[in-house]
Amino acid sequence: MIQYTLRRLLVALPSLLGVLIIVFLMVRLAPGDPAQLLAGEFADAATVERIRERFGLNDSMPVQFQRFITGVAQGDLGRSTRTSRPVTVELREFFPNTVELALASILFALVVGVALGIISALKSNTWVDALAMILALIGVSMPTFWFGLLAIRFFAVETPIFPVAGRGTFAHLVLPAITLGLSSTGIIARMTRSALLEVLGQDYVRTARAKGGTPRMIVLKHALRNALVPVLTVGGLEFGSLLAGAVITETVFTWPGVGRMLVTSVLSRDYPVVQGTVLLIAVSFIVVNLLVDLIYGLIDPRIRYD
CATH number of the structural domain spanning residue 168: 1.10.3720.10
**Range in 137-141, 152-156, 295-299 with the lowest mean pLDDT:** 295-299
- For residues 122 and 5, which has the higher predicted lDDT (pLDDT)? 122
Give the Cβ contact number of residue 175 at 10 Å: 24
- Looking at the domain assignment, is residue 148 inside a domain? yes
Separation CA 97–CA 250 (nearest Å): 10
Q: pLDDT grade, residue 11 (50/70/90)? A: confident
Indicate whether 113 and 15 sit together in one domain.
no
Q: Which residues contact 37 (CB under 8 A, 6 or more apart)?
A: 268, 269
pLDDT the model gives residue 300: 62
**Residue 306 falls inside a structural domain:** no
pLDDT tier for residue 214 given thresholds of 50, 70 and 90: low
Q: Can you tell me whether residue 86 is helix, strand or coil?
A: strand
Note whether 46 and 102 are same-domain residues: no
81 part of a folded domain: no
Q: Looking at the predicted structure, is the pLDDT value of residue 1 above 70? A: no
Instruction: Indicate if 142 and 279 belong to the same structural domain.
Output: yes
Task: List helix spans (H) across 144-270.
Answer: 144-152, 170-200, 203-210, 215-217, 224-244, 247-252, 258-267
Res 108: pLDDT: 92
Same domain for 59 and 29, yes or no, is: yes
Q: 250 lies in a domain?
A: yes
Tell me: do 120 and 262 sit in the same domain: yes
Give the contacts of 219 (CB within 8 A, at least 6 positions apart).
118, 122, 196, 200
Same structural domain, 153 and 20: no
Environment class of residue 4 by beta-carbon count within 10 Å: exposed (0-12), middle (13-18) or buried (19+)? middle
What are the pLDDT digits (tens) for 53-103?
777 777 778 888 888 888 888 888 888 878 888 888 888 888 899 889 989
How far is residue 57's CA from residue 33's CA, in Å, rounded to a whole number? Answer: 10
Look at the chain and report how many structural domains it folds into. 2
| 126 shares a domain with 94 | yes
Percent share of the chain, pLDDT over 70 = 92
* HSE toward the beta carbon, residue 149, CA cutoff 13 A: 6
Domain identity same for 117 and 157: yes
Instruction: For residues 165 and 272, state if they share a domain.
Output: yes
Same domain for 69 and 123? no
Q: How confident is the model at residue 305 (pLDDT cuts 50, 70, 90)?
A: low
Residue 297: predicted pLDDT: 64
Q: Does residue 130 share a domain with residue 28?
A: no
**Per-residue pLDDT at 241 exceeds 70:** yes
Domain membership of residue 147 as a residue range: 88-299
Please indicate, yes or no, whether residues 109 and 54 belong to a single structural domain of this protein: no
